[in-house]
Each structure stands twice: as C-alpha cells, then as structure tokens.
Amino acid sequence: MSLSRLYATKELLKKITFLNASRAITSASILSSNAPKPIQKHDFNRAVSEAEKIVGYPTSFLSLRWLLSDEIANVALHLRKLVGSNHPLLKTAKNLIYDGKSNMQAWGLIVLLISKAAGQSNDLLELEQDKSAGVLHSQRALAEITEMIRTSHLIHQGMVNLQTLKKSGNELASDSELIFGNKIALLGGDYLLGNACLQLAGLRNQELIELISSAVRDLAESNFIGDRDDENVALPSDPKCKIHIEDESPLEHFESTKDIDMSLILGHPEREWSFRHTLASGSLLGKSCQGTLKLAGQSEELQRHGYSFGKHLALAWQASMDLEPFRMQELPYNTSFSLISAPVLFQLDHDPSLYEEIKKGRKSVEEINYRKIHEAVLSGPGIEQTKELQRKHGQAAMDVLNEFPNCDARTALQNIIMAMQCL
Amino acid sequence: MSVSSSRAASARLVQEKLCNLLFNNQQKCVTVKRNFGSTYLPQTNSFMKIYQGTSKFGSFINGIKQSQASSTSIPQHSRDYSSVHTQQPAGPIREYKIDPYMLLEDELKYIFEDIRQELHQGTNQKELIQIAEYYFDGQGKALRPMVTLLMGKAINYHMYRENNPRTVDAQRKIAMIAEMIHSASLIHDDVIDQSFSRRGKPSVNVLWNHKKVTQAGDYVLAIASIMLSRLKHDEVTLMLSAVLNDLVQGEFMQLGAKETENERFSHYFTKTYRKTASLIANACKGSATIAGADAPIVETAFLYGKNLGLAFQFVDDLLDFVSSSETMGKPAAADLKLGLATAPVLFACEKYPELNPMIMRRFKEPGDVEKAFELVHKSQGLEQTRFLARKHCLEAIKLANKLAESPYQKGLTDIMDLVLNRMK
C-alpha cells in the first residue's frame, strides 16, 4: 500500500496555499458602496487582524486555552513518538498550531463579530449581561466551542483508513505507527468534541445545544455523501446521472437530510457542491451565528438571518478556496486539489467525458491525473462559474449584514467578505 | 401516535407479565418463608387507596390479589424461578428472584427500535445508518438502559408510588442516550484497538472504512446530544455531557501508564470509573434527577450506578482471563494483548513481582502475554478480583435497599447476581 498520499491532509494544505496567496494579493478592485469605512487594500490578513481588535482580544488565544490542558499536553507527548512516521496527524497538528491564526480561528472570529454587530436584546436579564467589548461571555464560549468542533472534525478526518491492511485484527503489532497515530487522532478529536459538549451544556440553553449538536451531525454526515475512494476522499458524481429538473437552484434550508432525494442533487453541479459544503462547513458556521444571536436574546427572525449569513459566508469562503489551485497556469507535480471543488464539478457538467479520468480514482485518487483535470478546468467555463458562485454567496452574506445596524463589527465583516472576493 | 400507543400497550404487557411472574412464582415455592404478596401490597389501607386510585396499578394489585386467592388451592412445586442469564445465585437463597430482563423485556426491545428510528431520522445516507445502528441489534447485554430503567422506575415508586408517564418517558430517553453514548464509544474503541470481533460478529472496523466508522461514532453522539437537549433539563444535560469527558480521559489513562506500583491501583480504579462506571452512575443520577428526587436519593442513585459499574468492569477484567473466546464473542486475554494491566494482574503482581517489568513494558516482549496469563492463574488474582467485585455489588445492594420495596427495586438488587455470575 502506498503511503505517499497519506501525507496530504488536503483540506489543510489547501488552506495554506490559500493564505499565502492572500498575503501577496494587493487587489485594486472597486469597493462595494455599502462599506462605510473600507480598508484600501483588500488584504485578507489585515481584514482579519483589524476585526480581531474590534471584538476585544485576538481570537488566536481561543485555541491556547485548550492547548494548555493536561490532556492535550499528553497528546503532544504522544505526538513526539510519531515524529518521523508518515501519519497525517502530524500535518494536522502542525497546521493547527502554526497556522492557527487566520484559518482555524477565523470562524470563531466571525461568530464574535456577528455577536457584536447584532448586539444584545434589551429583554436579556441584567444578570446575564456579563460581557466585554460588546460580546457576552457565553457568546465567547460559543465561538470557542465552534472552533473546537471544527478542529475535532478536521482531526478525525485526518485519520488513516487501516481497514484495508491485511493484518487487521488483534494480532497486529500494536506499536505500528499508523495505528498509534490513528489512536491519538481519534482520541484527540474525541477529547475536543467531548469538551465542546460539556462547555455547551454549561451554557444552559437547550435550544442552542440542539442546534449545535445538529451541526455536529451534519459534519459527520458530510463524510458519506457521494462516491469515495478507499481513503474516503470524495469523488464527484457521474454527470450523466443528472436528472432534468425544473428548478436547478440549490436547497435553501433543510432540517435534516432524511427526506432529501439524493438523485436530485448528485450530478447537478451547483446543487451537489452546495449540498456537500453546507453539510461540511456551512451548517456549523450558520448554526453558530444563529446560536450566538439566540444567546443574545434576539428574535427568531434575526436568528434565521444569522444562520443565512453564516452559511453563505462559509460557502463563499469555500468557493474562494476552490479557486485557489486554478490560479496557477500549470499544476506543480505531486500536488492535488479537491475533486469536489466547484470548478471541477462545473467542468464535468460542461464536458461529461472528463468523468472517465475521475473513474480511475475509485480505488485511490492517486491514480487520477490531476494535471489533466487541471488543464481541462482551465480551458472550460468552470472558473468563471465558480467566481459567479463565490460572488453570489458573498453577496447573500452582504445582504444579511445590511439588516444589521452600522457599526465597526459590521464593517469588519464586510471587509472580510470583500477581501475574500478579491482573493 | 402509534409509537405512544404501542408504548402504553407495552407498559401494560409488562405489568401483566409481572403479575404472572409473581403468580407462578408463588405456586412454585415449597416453603413460603415470607409472604411476598405483602412485600408489594401496601401495609396500610391508606396506601391501598392510592393504589386503587390509579388505574394501572389498580389492575396490577388486583392481579396479585387474584393470584393470592387462587394460590391457596394449587399444589406448590419445588422450583425457583431461574433464568438463562445466571449461572448460580450469589448470596443467601431467596424465595423468589426478579430477572430484570424478563421484567423489562418489552421495554428494552422498544428501546433499540426507538434508537434505530432516531438514527434514521437524522440522515438519508444508508451507509452511515448501517454503521451507526450496527451495535443496536439488541444482541448486547443492554446493561446500561436496563439499569437506568430499573433505577428510574424504582425511584418513581419510592417517591410517588406510581409511574408518571411524562417522567417515565424522559427516563426512557435517558436510557436510550446512555446506550447510544456506550455504543459510540464501542465504535471508536474498535478503531483504536483494531479489534476483530465483538458480540460474536465482526467488529465495525473490519467491515467499514475507518474514517467512516469514526464519523459514524460522532454521528451517534450528535444524535444522542440532540435527544438530550430535547429533555430540556440543564442538570441532566450537564451530567451526561460530563460522561463524554470521562470516557475520553479514561482512554487517555489507558494509553501509556508509567505510574509506580503504589499508584497503579488508584490509577486502575480511576480509569475504571471513567471508562465504565461514570456512564452508568450518571445515567442513574439523571434518571433520579428528572423524576424530581431530592439530593440524598439522587446521590444514592449515583453511587448505586457507580458501584454496579465498577463491579461490572472488575468481572469483565476477570472474564478476560477465564472465559473462552466463544462465550465472550471477543478473543481471550485481549486486555493483555493490548498491553493493559487489569485487576487480576495487579493482584498477581503482589505475589509474583516478576510481573512488574512486564507491566511496565506493556507485555510487549515475546512470551510476556503467555507468562502473565499463567502467573495470574497461579496466583490468587482471580479470586481477589472476584472478591473486589463482590464488595462493590454488596455496596450497591445496600444502596438499593434504601429505596422503597417494589419489583423494580428488587430488580436493582437481584441484578447483582447477573453482574457477578455472568459468563460473558
């Protein structure tokens, strides 16, 4: 079994490239008119660090709290044993620690910003008005919980599938590095998830617990959608299985996927993309934004706006990241990109014959010629369509923001959306 | 609608079954040292009124009355009520036994059905459901839901002398959640331990992609957490959420223990509490809390669950040395192979200090597992472990006896036979 592909925790790698690119970008595109105090350069990092000041303290401290716990110190000790092995957990851990600032933390930051932008309801008891920098302590806790859930999910995703090992079973040498790596990854993820549950319970808001738990459910579910290779890397659906339907627009809102007919989703590029990524990221950010407004005692309607904002922002974000590999005219060797990214799905819809290449990856995506797909996407309409998709979700998030009163937090969020658009 | 009506029907069924059970039991006793009718019948007339006031228990009592009336004319046989689950009764021979599995049979069946239904509600992904419900096949011991249900009903009886449908429903939910947390941890354990089989069938990690299995475990937890939030009880939510933390920390403790000999036992106790007893204890506590019990009763419920959980795990660790793989449904000496030093080894270590280095290197060198296995059998380790388990069983019985006598309370004490004398 080839282990070389295990190196790549693609999700995270993608983000590093995304960030590095964002640092370099100094775009001169036209500023949107609804931003009252826009920053001149659409530098993503600057938008983030300006935003951090607004909500009181750099959100990167969020992660420090759980990094300082005994259990994690324990995990760190065990991690040292893995150094030199090929387990992807090392990469996940490295990214969590060194690249923590703008990636992982950004979600917590957004929850804090939307909390401040919406403010707190006057109906909230005086006792509960325990806040700093315009954000309730319970809202800060929620931002942290959101980060923990997301991190836990990334760690669990970064495991290795050892099912295919012939030696599977108890007789397996228990000191095998991969098994040990999986053990630590699984427990580390569980630790964060368990801690998130406990902190969530501590907020004593049962509706919020239900909401966030359903986001955890969606995250887990996202790993089952569509075809997958042996490492559970998602493969796009056959464009030929697309059924003609009147309304091609993506599902706006769903409580649970139980009654959703997958045949109306898989193979329809935008629907499939938005379904997959709503489960994998939109749901958590949307529900956290909704939840923080719930904590502030805001109306049901505003809470729904919160969900909509978070979901669209996450999708706009995803679309920006999807575009990243296609900014290069030629794909470097040994690099890969998400096969379920919007440009690939659009290209498959445009030219279903490309699916023949995808099919080669049913056993392992390593068999796929990524350069070939990259070339095909560059020559097709996929990139333009993805940019359109990105703008659409960015605008949808902007529209929600316009419902909020004008304040520095709102401006910061607008800046982040715009910086994203210009990435 | 249909679910709730079938539930009511099942509750009636249980009561009928209970009456039949008591009825038959009395017929079969040779020497009735204690008239068991009086155990359940209220001593005073005022209690009688309460009984007759509530329809369900009215019929329950009438059933017993009839059984008493008819029993006088029927010849009695010498056969105690026995069950497939017990090997032999522990402690003094009583006139009758309550088999909790019989008592709760229908409810337990519905619990698994309802869990599967909840799992189906959350997703349309077939493979996710398959993995998630793999261990909810009703083939396990269902110890957690059973104890939770028994405790709930015993407490309801203790406090109100009747079962309030709303409380009962919430307690059923807690039982379901306890089983779901347990199964989610089994699913993750199987990936961690690379196990081969469980409950006599291939374990999840053999059948499915490990990444999917891990996510399915998270899914079960998420569904359990959603159900928990719908109970709308802050304290209960906190209790059961804390269990998740205990479970993970217990696993961490198992990873690489390098404590000294003196610390080993306390390490083992803490680990056992976190990995096994915490869930049972907190489920019992939750069941009592949601019934509105006062602090001493809640504490009793918690301690009962804790002692039962500890005893259960000690026996489990013991069985790892004596039971064949066929009865256990998992390979024998599995703990040693995983590098774990459980109570039998720790006791054996007192007589055979050569076990010390083996414990430190987690039985990694060739021949370690076999040698340790042999030494444990040569020592008093197994007897001492059984003694330890018995001690906690007796403590649990003492706690259960603080509750008012009822079939369910009796179940709480009689379940200890199952815990102590089980073969798997």
**How much is the pLDDT for A226?**
92
pLDDT digits (tens, 9 = 90+) for B296-316: 999 999 999 999 999 999 999
Cα Rg, chain B, nearest whole Å: 22
Cα Rg, chain A, nearest whole Å: 21
What is the nearest CA distance from B291 to chain A, expressed in angstroms?
Answer: 18
Q: Which of B196, B219, B232 sits opposite A217 (nearest CB)?
A: B219
What is the nearest CA distance from B226 to chain A, expressed in angstroms?
Answer: 5
Among A12-16, A93-97, A156-160, B314-318, which stretch is predicted with the lowest mean pLDDT? A12-16
pLDDT value at B84 more than 60: no
Tell if the CB–CB gap between A187 and B255 is shorter than 8 Å.
yes
> Does residue A367 sit at the B interface (CB-CB below 8 Å)?
no
Q: Of chain B residues 205-234, which have a CB less than 8 A from chain A?
A: 205-206, 208-212, 214-216, 218-219, 221-223, 225-226, 228-234
Q: Are B216 and A158 in contact (CB under 8 A)?
A: no
**How much is the pLDDT for B63?**
38
Q: Are A71 and A106 in contact (CB under 8 A)?
A: no
Confidence of residue A151 (pLDDT cuts 50, 70, 90): confident
Q: Are A328 and A392 in contact (CB under 8 A)?
A: no
Q: Of chain B residues 151-190, which have a CB less than 8 A from chain A?
A: 188
Q: How far is CA B38 from CA A306, B65, B71, in A?
A: 62, 10, 14
Distance CA B252, CA A79 (A): 13
- The residue count for chain A: 423
> Does residue A186 sit at the B interface (CB-CB below 8 Å)?
yes
**How much is the pLDDT for B46?**
36
Q: Is B34 helix (H, G, I), strand (E, B) or coil?
A: coil
DSSP H or E run through B237: helix B234-255
For residue B38, which amino acid is it?
S
For chain B, give every domain's residue range: 2-79, 105-421
* Angle at B413 (CA atoms; ends B410, B414), nearest 5 degrees: 80
pLDDT digits (tens, 9 = 90+) for B215-250: 999 999 999 999 999 999 999 999 999 999 999 989
Q: Tell me what percent of the residues of chain A surpass a pLDDT of 70.
A: 74
Residues of chain A positioned with their CB less than 8 A from the CB of B278: none
**How much is the pLDDT for A69?**
61
Among A14-23, A58-67, A335-344, B341-350, which stretch is predicted with the lowest mean pLDDT? A14-23
Higher pLDDT, A96 or A246: A246
Closest-CA residue of chain A to B256 = A78
Higher pLDDT, A165 or A408: A408
Distance CA B395, CA B304 (A): 8
> Does residue B338 sit at the A interface (CB-CB below 8 Å)?
yes
Distance CA B385, CA B372 (A): 16
φ and ψ of A226, to 5 deg:
70, -170
Distance CA B188, CA B199 (A): 16
Tell if the CB–CB gap between A191 and B120 is shorter than 8 Å.
no
How many Cβ contacts (< 8 angstroms) between chains A and B?
A: 181
pLDDT digits (tens, 9 = 90+) for B334-360: 889 888 999 999 999 999 999 989 998
pLDDT digits (tens, 9 = 90+) for A213-260: 999 999 999 999 999 998 899 999 998 888 877 777 777 777 888 888
Q: Of chain A residues 11-30, which have a CB less than 8 A from chain B?
A: none
Q: Of chain B residues 115-154, which have a CB less than 8 A from chain A?
A: 120-125, 127-128
Higher pLDDT, A331 or A284: A284
CATH of domain B105-421: 1.10.600.10
Confidence of residue A12 (pLDDT cuts 50, 70, 90): very low
Pairing of strands A135-136, A131-132: antiparallel
Mean pLDDT of the region B178-207: 91
**How much is the pLDDT for A77?**
67
Confidence of residue A114 (pLDDT cuts 50, 70, 90): very high
Q: Which of A161, A202, A221 sits opposite B210 (nearest CB)?
A: A161
Distance CA B10, CA B62 (A): 19
Tell if the CB–CB gap between A183 and B192 is shorter than 8 Å.
yes
For residue B343, which amino acid is it?
A
Tell if the CB–CB gap between B127 and A224 is shorter than 8 Å.
yes
> Does residue A196 sit at the B interface (CB-CB below 8 Å)?
no
- The residue count for chain B: 424
Q: Of chain A residues 244-263, which have a CB less than 8 A from chain B?
A: 256-260, 262
Q: How far is CA A369 from CA A174, A359, A360, A415, B348, in A?
A: 36, 11, 9, 38, 59
Mutate to test the interface with A, among B226, B258, B275, B361 (most CBs of A within 10 A): B226
Higher pLDDT, A180 or A347: A347
Q: Of chain A residues 138-177, which have a CB less than 8 A from chain B?
A: 153, 156-157, 159-163, 168-170, 172, 174-175
Among A292-296, B60-64, B174-178, B374-378, which stretch is predicted with the lowest mean pLDDT? B60-64
Mean pLDDT of the region A111-124: 86
**How much is the pLDDT for B86?**
46
Chain-centroid distance, C-alpha A33: 28
Q: Which of B123, B206, B242 sits opposite A198 (nearest CB)?
A: B242
Q: What is the DSSP string of A361-418?
A: TSS-GGGS-HHHHHHHHHHSSHHHHHHHHHHHHHHHHHHHHTTSPP-HHHHHHHHHHH
Q: Cβ–Cβ contacts within 10 Å for residue B1, how many?
A: 5
> Does residue A81 sit at the B interface (CB-CB below 8 Å)?
no
Among residues A222, A417, A223, the alpha carbon closest in space to that of A320 is found at: A417
Tell if the CB–CB gap between A209 and B237 is shorter than 8 Å.
yes
Closest-CA residue of chain B to A202 = B238
Q: Is A136 helix (H, G, I), strand (E, B) or coil?
A: strand
> Does residue A201 sit at the B interface (CB-CB below 8 Å)?
yes
Q: Tell me what percent of the residues of chain B surpass a pLDDT of 70.
A: 74
Higher pLDDT, A30 or A150: A150
Tell if the CB–CB gap between B334 and A170 is shorter than 8 Å.
yes
Question: Considering the domain A4-421, what is its CATH architecture?
Answer: Orthogonal Bundle (1.10)
Chain-centroid distance, C-alpha A204: 27
pLDDT digits (tens, 9 = 90+) for B2-43: 444 455 555 555 555 554 544 444 443 333 333 332 233 333
| ipTM of this predicted structure | 0.84
Among residues B312, B310, B298, B313, the alpha carbon closest in space to that of B399 is found at: B298
Residue A10 makes CB contacts below 8 A (sequence gap 6+) with A233, A336, A337, A338
**How much is the pLDDT for A8?**
31
Tell if the CB–CB gap between A221 and B210 is shorter than 8 Å.
no
Q: Which of B225, B249, B331 sits opposite A213 (nearest CB)?
A: B225
Closest-CA residue of chain B to A215 = B222
Higher pLDDT, A292 or B329: A292
Q: Are A111 and A143 in contact (CB under 8 A)?
A: yes
Sign of the torsion formed by the C-alpha atoms of A198, A200, A202 and A207: negative
Closest-CA residue of chain B to A185 = B192
Q: Is B363 helix (H, G, I), strand (E, B) or coil?
A: coil
Q: Which ranges in A203-250 belong to alpha helices (H)? A: 206-222
Q: Are A47 and A27 in contact (CB under 8 A)?
A: no
Among residues B253, B280, B260, the alpha carbon closest in space to that of B396 is found at: B280
Tell if the CB–CB gap between B215 and A193 is shorter than 8 Å.
no
Tell if the CB–CB gap between A216 and B221 is shorter than 8 Å.
yes
**How much is the pLDDT for B138?**
84
What is the nearest CA distance from A280 to chain B, expressed in angstroms?
Answer: 12
What is the nearest CA distance from B45 to chain A, expressed in angstroms?
Answer: 44
Closest-CA residue of chain A to B232 = A206
- Local structure of residue A228 (DSSP, 8 states): B
Among residues B338, B343, B353, B322, the alpha carbon closest in space to that of B390 is found at: B343
> Does residue B65 sit at the A interface (CB-CB below 8 Å)?
no
